[in-house]
Amino acid sequence: MLLVVTGTGTDVGKTVVTAAVATLATGRVAVVKPAQTGIAEGAESDLDVVRRLSGVTDTHEFVRYPEPLAPATAARRAGIHAMPVAEMAQRISALADHDLVIVEGAGGLLVHLDADGHTIADLAAALDAPVLVVAPAGLGALNATALTAEALRARRLACAGVVIGSWPSAPGVAEWSNLADFPRYAGAPLLGVVPAGSGGLERAEFAAVARASLAPELGGDWTPPRDAGRDAGDSAHHE
């Protein structure tokens, strides 16, 4: 099985969600980061984070570009020929003996991965893989999620669902309202809510958080609260 993880933008929690899905997966699991950009010397890459949190060591990074930009832009500025999406798809397809291959994109769905303007959406299409959308919790998230879902439908790609990548410790009215509204905007189920700061946990604690934060479709126990959408004045009842 293949699963592509994208986001409504950058810094929405894609890597931690990828690690959570990998943590709960059974059988032989691989995680692929086709293009990594902008990792400072001595800093963790996205796959370093996945390995640290999940314990999955079967990880694959195809190419790394120095600046924290869209992969095609970072490659061009570095004078490097960006790896074509067709080659990425071929290399990922070679992992077909795995029970699950999780592919984490860079940035959002339509960020250019190669010089021809191909995107993570094109990669998902080449792989015939469903796409899991990671979204932020607060203001602006619904519109960004709806646009991402619309782009998936336009390309006849399956949206596996939405996961909130960083749920704040003190959510307000926007966050609680969005919790109820995400399925309507995405046309797909809300499959989890990962607490902010989960990327700093130890592995055993992260495993427990992953199980409590992801829905059964992703191997966890999470279900949407019945009172999602209540106003911020009632939010204390959720905490």
Q: Where are the domains of the chain?
A: 2-238
Alpha-carbon radius of gyration of the chain: 17
Q: How many whole angstroms separate alpha carbon 204 and alpha carbon 191? A: 22
Q: What is the pLDDT of residue 7?
A: 96
- Which residues, listed in sequence order, are joined to residue 103 by a DSSP beta bridge? 4, 32
Cα 196 from chain centre: 14
Other C-beta atoms closer than 10 Å to the C-beta of 61 total: 17
**Residues 164 and 189: beta-carbon distance below 8 Å:** no
Active site residue 14: no
Q: What is the pLDDT of residue 229?
A: 54
The mean pLDDT values, 10 residues at a time, for the chain of 239 residues are: 95 96 96 92 90 96 93 94 96 95 95 96 97 96 96 96 96 93 95 96 96 97 76 40
Would you call 203 helix, strand, or coil by DSSP?
A: helix
Helix (H) / strand (E) element for 193: namely: strand 190-195
> From the candidates 33, 51, 112, 118, which is the catalytic residue?
33
Domain boundaries 2-238, corresponding CATH code: 3.40.50.300
